[in-house]
A and B are shown apart, each in its own frame.
Chain A
């Protein structure tokens, strides 16, 4: 593996790790809110969360590109806060990944929270447990498997993305050049051996990760 590819691997892992952490922090309260929402408006939010599953990544990438542009409000605000433009930066691809992988984290968590119901939470409440205490002492341990599933899917999906990163990240080595783009570059340059090495390793790593996720769910169901 050449240095540029190692760098792409490192960028990919960094992007996926940071995105997964943000996804869990944002996705958990969002999933909780959706799971407990009684109003019919819920379906609209569910549809919004699910959009990235069916939308071509380029559509999301296109709108993000407009939102991140230096002339845009968000772009201006980002420039003032950080001193550097948002478009074609590492931060941009992290934000893109978070939006793109949101359903893969929110949906398993929402299902888990809905299945858990409020029986055990009411019991904990009657023993004096406050909301945050209830989350950490009841919800988290009882939906642990779903959190692992959500984190794994979010991570894997982020590693696998291409379209959004290309549109809002460009292809800047050490910044926004991730594995999927590196493969594309190798193919474009007819470097099939390098493309093969990267593709195969990505394929195997994804397969192992997904097998572990399904194994975990299998255990949960058969228990």
Chain B
């Protein structure tokens, strides 16, 4: 029963001729579900509809067996009665209250009050800020308070609307790590809206993709990202291999972290912070297709530390016919490589051919070590 059933269409109103929403989707209500799509795809409208803040929609929303909306039967559970939390893009802290009073505001109105406010303050690292006014805080601090405040209302579902978009790169990583930690420790199901695939790749278990108010795909995060690589849709993502690998060891002498692909094979990436990424933990990482190259012979005496043997499973031409995307199956993982049409012809590549893929350690990226954040996703036609 832990699921969210959504069947929504937008009402046609004189002011709302352009935008239309038509979503019929069942979403598992556990872990983190990412909602991804370009601006104007309906992500925020969907989130606000689930929250109960959007009135111009018709259809049904059913949450854990309870009807929140049924326009046919004139059922509309008010937002304040849904027990659903929402962290807004701009933190919306109450300016007339201190940080601590903002937190108390939420706790006083919680229907359960099982959470200890001091524990949440420690968990969200707000101890030194609680007596400040919200205007005195940085945007990163404000979002942490907004998150703590939303948690203290003890929602059954926490909605996050672009929670990192106002933050700088360093704070984005910090906040995302905090979100994942909170999700795991408190076990609150989250729906996380973002136009940044990198944020969702790092945090979400499942991904719901929207474009023009319709669902394009839904499923396991890695699988959906890989499908987005292969299928030309309205959303052009930076084609990539999405992985979750176990941290095997940190090799400080050589400045590398070893990630386990399977019993025999490892991948190497630039050394990670051993405190933050503990041995044995799973790490989300991605490799851009443009960073993986192909050789027909096994490379040796190369400075490139990662190479794997595999078989080409799919060949697809880019829309401008200037590049080729190859899906290569290596050690039960699918890797994506983007090569020029010239190389494709020169190497005479075909589906089923056995090849070697290779990529530098620095090609393996996470949100925190990536310096090319802004280029992860290119949006086209979305706005």
A contacts, CB < 8 Å to B: 119-120, 122-130, 133, 137-138, 141-142
Contact = CB atoms under 8 A, between A and B. Distances in A.
Contact of A125 (B79, B90, B105): B79
B53 A122 contact: yes
Contacts of A124: 94, 105
Contacts of B94: 120, 123-124, 138, 142
B96 A142 contact: yes
Contacts of A130: 80
B252 interface: no
Contact of A127 (B52, B53, B109): B109
B95 A142 contact: yes
Given A125-B53, A129-B80, A137 B105 contact: yes
Interface string B180-218: 000000000000000000000000000000000000000
A128 B96 contact: no
Given A120-B94, A126-B85, A128-B81, 11 more contacts: A119-B88, A122-B92, A123-B86, A126-B51, A126-B150, A127-B150, A128-B110, A128-B153, A129-B105, A142-B94, A142-B96
B23 interface: no
B377 interface: no
Nearest to B149: A127
**Top 4 nearest A-B pairs by Cβ distance?**
A128-B109, A123-B92, A126-B86, A127-B106
Contacts of B109: 127-129, 133
Contacts of B95: 120, 142
A128 B86 contact: no
Contact of A128 (B83, B90, B92): B83
Contacts of B86: 122-123, 126
A141 B94 CA distance: 10
Chain B interface size band reads 20 to 34
Chain A contact residues: over half helix, strand or loop, or mixed? helix
A129 B104 CA distance: 13
B69 to A, nearest CB: 16
Nearest to B15: A38
A31 to B, nearest CB: 19
Nearest to B97: A141
Contact of B105 (A119, A127, A142): A127
Contacts of B331: none
Nearest to A134: B80
Contacts of B90: 119
A126 B153 CA distance: 9
Contacts of B153: 126-128
A222 to B, nearest CB: 14
Nearest to A142: B96
A137 B150 CA distance: 17
A80 B79 CA distance: 46
17 contacts: A120-B92, A122-B79, A122-B86, A122-B88, A123-B88, A124-B105, A125-B80, A126-B53, A126-B85, A126-B150, A127-B150, A127-B153, A128-B83, A128-B110, A133-B109, A137-B105, A142-B95
Interface of B: 51-53, 79-81, 83-86, 88, 90, 92-96, 105-106, 109-111, 149-150, 153
A220 to B, nearest CB: 12
Nearest to B87: A126
A133 B11 CA distance: 31
Nearest to B155: A126
A143 to B, nearest CB: 10
Nearest to A119: B92
Nearest to B154: A128
A122 B51 CA distance: 10
Contacts of B53: 122, 125-126
A126 B109 CA distance: 10
Contacts of B81: 128
A223 to B, nearest CB: 10
A141 B95 CA distance: 10
B148 to A, nearest CB: 12
**Which of A119, A120, A122, A126 has the largest count of B CB atoms less than 10 A from its CB?**
A126
Contacts of A128: 80-81, 83, 106, 109-111, 153
B108 to A, nearest CB: 9
A126 B105 contact: no
Nearest to A38: B15
A221 to B, nearest CB: 15
B286 to A, nearest CB: 32
**Which of A127, A130, A133, A137 has the largest count of B CB atoms less than 10 A from its CB?**
A127
A164 B66 CA distance: 59
A127 to B, nearest CB: 5
A130 B109 CA distance: 10
B153 to A, nearest CB: 5
A141 B85 CA distance: 23
A116 B337 CA distance: 52
B179 to A, nearest CB: 17
A200 to B, nearest CB: 40
A167 B94 CA distance: 48
B376 to A, nearest CB: 30
B47 to A, nearest CB: 11
Contacts of A129: 80, 105, 109
Nearest to B159: A126
A147 to B, nearest CB: 13
A124 B146 CA distance: 11
A133 B51 CA distance: 19
